[in-house]
Amino acid sequence: MSAQYSRLKGFADIYGAQLKRFTLLEDMARQTFFRYGFEELRTPILEPTALFLRSIGEQTDVVQKEMFTFSDRKGRSMTMRPEATAGVMRAAIEENLVRQGQVSRFFSIGPMFRYERPQKGRMRQFHQINCECLGSDSPYADADLICMLMDFLHHVGLKKLKLKINSLGCKKCRPAYMEKLQDFLRATPAQSLCGDCLTRREANPLRVLDCKQPGCREVCAKAPKLLDHACADCKSHMELVLTLLEKAGIAAEIDASLVRGLDYYMRTTFEVVSNEIGAQTAVAGGGRYDGLVAQLGGPDIPGVGFACGMERLALLLNEAEPAPLDFFLLVPDASERQQGFQLLVNLRKQGFSGEMNFGDAGFKSLMRQANRSGARSVLIFGPDEAAQGSIAIKNLATGEQINAPLDALPAALARVLGK
Ligand code: HAM
């Protein structure tokens, strides 16, 4: 069938095996996160644009190029959330969910929107599993959160992943580093940097380190590294995070170029990458963002968090085909259909999955329907069977067929299906 209306570019209908992967990821996430003391939080998809400008940062690619922003009927600018952190912070402040001196943990699962060029694992509407731990600036909070992320990924069955980690310094040491970086970039010939980075080196030089253009990457490889210029507090924070991860048996690789694409980070930043989707594609990313809650008008509460991209995790999961139906109940004649309907209802009550034909059709066409349904067996209930008080059960994979008395149907079906 050719559709008159098509879905928008970068947007997807989610069904079948992909939906199965998504629900598996969601179930595993909930199971894992509850064990670490997280509670679920659902925030709106639409938020005032100013929230994202203030938190993500005006000079980031997300804000400059990727937001779905529009005016409502009263001319107010609103944006479809490009990430979850800003909304969670807003809700934590507005709903009084956080207190100074107390650790609060929230996870959220849902769609995010970024106007990016769609490709494998990159969508305009994508889904994140997002976690935020608010209320502690201790390296233990960072390590505990990263342990939970790796625990979750392990649980889902993903093992060939690499954890990269870096420190972005703090208010004390970052300004001096930024000056050094800016001096270095200003001394770089303009033709070595892309047009965006020429603007970035003046407005927000850290963003240059994040550029994916090959020329800019070459320049950045020689740029001063933040960890070499971090203050003693930031260095010892990072060292303890690394020690704790080692104690937890988690291998982490320091990556000085890991600055992340959002402005709210300080100190620890991390990403989990896979080589199976494309070159070092991030399946999860996060970091510490002390100062963000205060910046958004709340109390000065530190925090650390991460988000996983569900589409990217789904690409790494084995082909998770939806479980086939147990049976297709084939009732050729209207005279037996009501009794057939009762059989259908009873079998479902007993825990079997299945469907039946609702309309009249020839036997051959009904058998085709049964095969197309993907069911593992077909139950045939025609006038002969009804007269004998029995039903035919055929295993569609093996061809094995038996006749069973109606009152023994559940046990006979279970036997045929090997349940
Ligand atoms: P992010 O690195 O921008 O971080 O996104 C997190 C993850 O979302 C990425 O690693 C990727 O798996 C997935 N992702 C991002 N964009 C797309 C896309 N267009 N299509 C498919 N997947 C995508 C954040 O969003 C932060 N808010 C994470 C965080 C939470 N930091 C602290 N707390």
Distance from residue 308's CA to the centre of ligand 1 (Å): 6
3-class SS of residue 57: coil
Does any ligand 1 atom lie closer than 6 A to the CB of residue 354? no
| Substitution site in 265, 311, 312 for ligand 1 pocket (most atoms within 8 Å of beta carbon) | 312
Contact 216, 194 (CB under 8 A): yes
Distance from residue 309's CA to the centre of ligand 1 (Å): 6
Distance from residue 55's CA to the centre of ligand 1 (Å): 15
Q: What pLDDT score was predicted for residue 204?
A: 87
Distance from residue 65's CA to the centre of ligand 1 (Å): 15
Average pLDDT, integer, range 134-155: 95
Count of C-beta atoms within a 10 Å radius of residue 252: 18
The whole-angstrom separation of Cα 268 and Cα 33 is: 21
Lowest mean pLDDT segment, chosen from 146-150, 153-157, 247-251, 387-391: 153-157
Alpha helices in 248-378 (DSSP H): 292-295, 310-316, 337-349, 363-372
Does any ligand 1 atom lie closer than 6 A to the CB of residue 290? no
The whole-angstrom separation of Cα 127 and Cα 68 is: 15
The whole-angstrom separation of Cα 224 and Cα 255 is: 13
Does any ligand 1 atom lie closer than 6 A to the CB of residue 163? no
Average pLDDT, integer, range 110-131: 96
Does any ligand 1 atom lie closer than 6 A to the CB of residue 108? no
Q: Could you identify the atom of ligand 1 that is nearest to the CA of residue 85?
A: 27
State the Cα angle at 376 between 372 and 382, rounded to 5°.
80
Residue type at position 331: V
Distance from residue 261's CA to the centre of ligand 1 (Å): 9
Of 214, 233, 248, the C-alpha closest to 145 is: 248
Does any ligand 1 atom lie closer than 6 A to the CB of residue 288? no
Nearest alpha carbon, ligand 1 atom 16: 122
Distance from residue 128's CA to the centre of ligand 1 (Å): 7
Question: What are the pLDDT digits (tens) for 284-342?
Answer: 999 999 999 999 999 999 999 999 999 999 999 865 566 789 999 999 999 999 999 99
Nearest alpha carbon, ligand 1 atom 23: 309
Instruction: Name the token pair of 414.
Output: 């279970």
Does any ligand 1 atom lie closer than 6 A to the CB of residue 340? no
Question: What are the pLDDT digits (tens) for 186-239?
Answer: 999 999 999 999 999 998 898 899 888 899 999 999 999 999 999 999 999 999
Four-CA torsion 381, 382, 387, 388, nearest 10 degrees: -50
Nearest alpha carbon, ligand 1 atom 21: 122
DSSP class of residue 15?
-
Nearest alpha carbon, ligand 1 atom 31: 286
Alpha helices in 6-113 (DSSP H): 16-35, 49-56, 61, 85-94
Does any ligand 1 atom lie closer than 6 A to the CB of residue 234? no
- pLDDT > 90 in the chain, percent: 86
Distance from residue 162's CA to the centre of ligand 1 (Å): 16
The whole-angstrom separation of Cα 17 and Cα 262 is: 33
Nearest alpha carbon, ligand 1 atom 8: 309
The whole-angstrom separation of Cα 282 and Cα 388 is: 62
Nearest alpha carbon, ligand 1 atom 10: 284
Helix axes 139-156, 232-247, angle to 10 degrees: 40
pTM: 0.86
**Average model confidence (pLDDT) for the chain?**
94
Question: What are the pLDDT digits (tens) for 341-385?
Answer: 999 999 999 999 999 999 998 999 999 999 999 999 999 999 999
